[in-house]
Amino acid sequence: MRTRALIAIAAAAVLVVAIALSLAIGARAIDLGTVWQALTDLDPNDPEQLIVSDLRVSRTVIGILAGAALGVAGALMQALTRNPFADPGLLGINAGASLAVVIALSTGVATGFAAQVPVAFVGAGVAAVIVYSIGARGAAAGAPVRLALAGVAFTALVSSVTYAILLLNDQTMEQYRLWVAGSLTGRQDYDVTALAWIVVVAIAAGLLASRQLQAIALGEDAARALGVRIGAIRTVIIVIVTLLAGAATAAAGPIVFVGLAVPHLARALVGASLPWLLVVSALGGAALVLVCDVIGRVVAPPGEIGVGISTAFIGGLIFALMARRMKVVEL
Amino acid sequence: MRILRIGPLGISTHRRTFAVGLVMLVALGALMVFALSHGQSSITVLESLKAAVGIPVGAPADFIVGQVRAPRALTAVLVGAMLGLSGAILQSLTRNPLASPDFIGISAGAGTGAVLTLWLIGAGSLWVTAAGAAAGALATAGLILLLSWRHGIVPLRMILAGIGMGFVANAATQYALTRMDMHEAGNALGWLVGSVTGRTWTHVSVAAICLAVLLPVVLWNARSLRTMEMGDDTARALGIAVGPARMVLALCSVLLAAASVAITGPIGFIALVAPAIALRLTRNAGVTLIPSALIGALLLLAADQVAQLMPTTVQLPVGVFTAAVGAPYLLWLVWRASRGGPA
């Protein structure tokens, strides 16, 4: 208990450092004193302070939201599917959200970012249910290869449909490009308060349901004996994961592997206790997205690369290394 | 069992496999005639056939068929054959119907290699791009082997490592795209979609040369492949050098996939689906290389015809159609496997 609390505090400290980096580093490096002044006592005539308060703060907040949401979503999915390779991005939930947004845009159902968010949630939910029922149920449930391939195949199918709609409709392409930039920028004019509430409430609900979920992980019979309503808990968890993944995709575009790598690392630190795992995953996910975003800002001057690209690069390697460590029977 | 002899060379083949191969050839020929003669400007079948082989017949046909339709159709046929062959080898080597170069990151690595070549060397000859794609694909394949090697190779572990490396390679491609200048990046993006539109005789000749070099090597080792499917020990007992044979075949599979990516860009699912269809049609127990190649050619040519016939304002790239057919098949494979069926 005490070590776990210490680890959570350490994760929070890492997150604070990541926030400081995210506020200070970019096309123009700004020293931390100026950053602090911009946060506490803004001088509207100092361009450096304006960069921090206008651009970097909103970018950092979005990064924290998306990272925490993805970390928790990944941890919950892994517990639900009993599969260490479950990740909302890898399973095509992002792709489902994208397709739903594109369909809504091309049919004119949803114009404007605010209307697209609920549409993205619907797409994410449908995708989650489809991939979960194809790859994670049945006799051989929990085999990583099946789940990963179901996700890859589903993503390929959904993205080819998305792509076809986009090619046939210039106007949709233009709006979609703005939505799917896959980065933390370009959302300054959108109020993320609603998304922040969704993420906070969903994480809290995940924490509340985590004990029951952990009981299911012991085996369905054991869980039933402990009085857990298995079907209800599963449904609740899928809803929570959908909300988190949908919110993260709406806020920051498609990001893969954060939900895979962070819970994996967190499990190595805090062990199997799901509530602690969720807390550490939320903190670590936020820190990872911020660090990846900072890396993306500096590796390709004068431009930037989206946070989705740097997380895919780092996460893909972690994924391959995890595959290496699996025992044959676990595949 | 029957022996097919051409001079001193002989290939033993099952009667049914032989018949399936013949039917596929006829179907391919018919589709080819359709591809050459059908299009927006009406040119008679006879004229288009003449124009395709270089006999001058007059103004529109010489250009439309001779320089547009014929190279496009031939590129589709050759690349489809490469993909079918590459997938068949990989599935046989891993003994797993889920393995295919487009899912285990090989095609993505080839794409990265080609884009890096475009970025660092510039758009030169197609051979340079192809060499870059081959280097990228080989490097990715090497990394996958390195990452999944643990007291030997387990196919499922290799597939997972490959999926991960695919993401890494695509991220590297994206990175290169952001660093290239706008014009080059636009070209590279168009090519990364995967399409046979606008291919010329240069593409056809590169494809033909690659296939002409690699196909004999593959067929030479085909018997080892068939024997290795019975198990490494059996193959060794029958006098097959399992290690070298596997190495050569894997190399051929990777190079075929890389060449296809260099010529048309990544086109998904043909390499996955063609060998599976070949197995079902021929009812063979093991690998069927030639039928897989023929079916791959047929699939890509047919998908391209569908793409051209679609009454859409913009012609959709052929990869959209191969994915529309292939992805449900892969989902079905996974669904069946997760219900305890064969993986």
Query: B145 near A301, Cβ under 8 Å?
Result: no
Query: Residue B286 has what pLDDT?
Result: 66
The yes-or-no verdict on residue A206 having pLDDT over 90 is yes
- Local confidence band at B87 (pLDDT 50, 70, 90 cut-offs): very high
Q: Give CA–CA dist A210/A275, Å, rounded.
A: 6
The yes-or-no verdict on residue A199 having pLDDT over 90 is yes
**Which residue did the predictor score with more confidence, B13 or B126?**
B126
Query: Residue B338 has what pLDDT?
Result: 65
Query: Residue A203 has what pLDDT?
Result: 95
- Local confidence band at B57 (pLDDT 50, 70, 90 cut-offs): confident
Query: Residue A216 has what pLDDT?
Result: 81
**Which residue did the predictor score with more confidence, A191 or A315?**
A315
How far is CA B158 from each of CA B94, B141, B166, B224, rounded to the nearest angstrom? 9, 10, 12, 22
Contacts of A78 (CB under 8 A, 6+ apart): A84, A85, A86, A263
3-state secondary structure (DSSP) of residue B3: strand
Q: Where are the domains of chain B?
A: 14-49+74-338
Backbone angles phi, psi at B11, to 5 degrees: -120, 125
For A26-76, write each residue's pLDDT tens digit. Answer: 777 788 888 888 888 777 788 778 777 777 888 899 899 999 999 999 999
Q: Give CA–CA dist B137/B105, Å, rounded.
A: 8
Q: Which helix (H) or strand (E) holds A42?
A: none
Q: How many CB pairs under 8 A join A and B?
A: 161
Q: Give CA–CA dist A302/A293, Å, rounded.
A: 15
Q: Which residues in chain B touch residue A139, judged by CB atoms under 8 angstroms apart?
A: 338-340
Average pLDDT, rounded, for chain A: 82
Query: Residue A280 has what pLDDT?
Result: 94
Query: Residue A218 has what pLDDT?
Result: 77
3-state secondary structure (DSSP) of residue B155: helix
Contact B324 A315 (CB under 8 A): no
Contact A145 B320 (CB under 8 A): no
The yes-or-no verdict on residue A116 having pLDDT over 80 is no
Across residues A155-163, what is the average pLDDT?
A: 84
- Local confidence band at B1 (pLDDT 50, 70, 90 cut-offs): low
Least confident of A71-80, B80-89, B96-105: B96-105
Query: Residue B343 has what pLDDT?
Result: 47
Q: Which residues in chain A touch residue B170, judged by CB atoms under 8 angstroms apart?
A: 312
Name the residue facing B164 among A134, A139, A320 (closest C-beta).
A320
Burial degree of B2 (CB within 10 A; 0-12, 13-18, 19+): exposed
For A236-274, write each residue's pLDDT tens digit. Answer: 988 899 899 888 887 787 788 888 889 988 888 888 789
How far is CA A42 from each of CA A38, B41, B47, rounded to the nearest angstrom? 4, 68, 78
Neighbours of A12 (CB within 10 A): 16
**Which residue did the predictor score with more confidence, B31 or B3?**
B31
For B280-313, write each residue's pLDDT tens digit. Answer: 888 776 668 889 999 999 999 999 999 888 877 7
Secondary structure (DSSP) of B226-244:
HHHTT-HHHHHHTT--HHH
Contact A156 B268 (CB under 8 A): yes
- Report the percentage of chain B scoring pLDDT > 70: 93
Across residues B68-86, what is the average pLDDT?
A: 94
Name the residue facing A143 among B167, B172, B338 (closest C-beta).
B338
Q: ∠ at Cα A119 (A117, A122), nearest 5°?
A: 115
Assign domain A2-330 to a CATH class: mainly alpha
- Report the percentage of chain A scoring pLDDT > 70: 89
Query: A277 near A270, Cβ under 8 Å?
Result: yes
The structure's pTM equals: 0.84
- Name the closest residue on chain A to residue B316, using Cα atoms: A164
Query: A62 near A186, Cβ under 8 Å?
Result: no
What is the residue type of B77?
V
CATH number of B14-49+74-338: 1.10.3470.10
Chain A residues 161-190 within an 8 A CB cutoff of chain B: 161, 163-164, 167-168
Gyration radius from chain A CA atoms: 20
The answer to whether residue A15 neighbours chain B at the CB level (below 8 Å) is: no
ipTM above 0.85, yes or no: no
Contact A324 B148 (CB under 8 A): yes
**Which residue did the predictor score with more confidence, A112 or A312?**
A312
The answer to whether residue A129 neighbours chain B at the CB level (below 8 Å) is: no
Query: Residue B304 has what pLDDT?
Result: 92
The answer to whether residue A149 neighbours chain B at the CB level (below 8 Å) is: yes
Across residues B36-60, what is the average pLDDT?
A: 79
Across residues A210-229, what is the average pLDDT?
A: 82
Query: Residue B302 has what pLDDT?
Result: 93
Gyration radius from chain B CA atoms: 20
According to the per-residue pLDDT averaged within each range, which of A91-105, A266-280, B8-22, B91-105 is highest? A266-280
Contacts of A37 (CB under 8 A, 6+ apart): A43, A49
Contact B147 A324 (CB under 8 A): yes
Q: Give CA–CA dist B101/B260, Å, rounded.
A: 11
Name the residue facing B164 among A304, A309, A319 (closest C-beta).
A319
Q: Give CA–CA dist A37/A80, Å, rounded.
A: 45
**Which residue did the predictor score with more confidence, B178 or A191?**
B178
The yes-or-no verdict on residue B137 having pLDDT over 90 is yes
- Local confidence band at A139 (pLDDT 50, 70, 90 cut-offs): low
Q: Which residues in chain A touch residue B326, judged by CB atoms under 8 angstroms apart?
A: 156
Contact B163 A168 (CB under 8 A): no
The yes-or-no verdict on residue B26 having pLDDT over 80 is yes
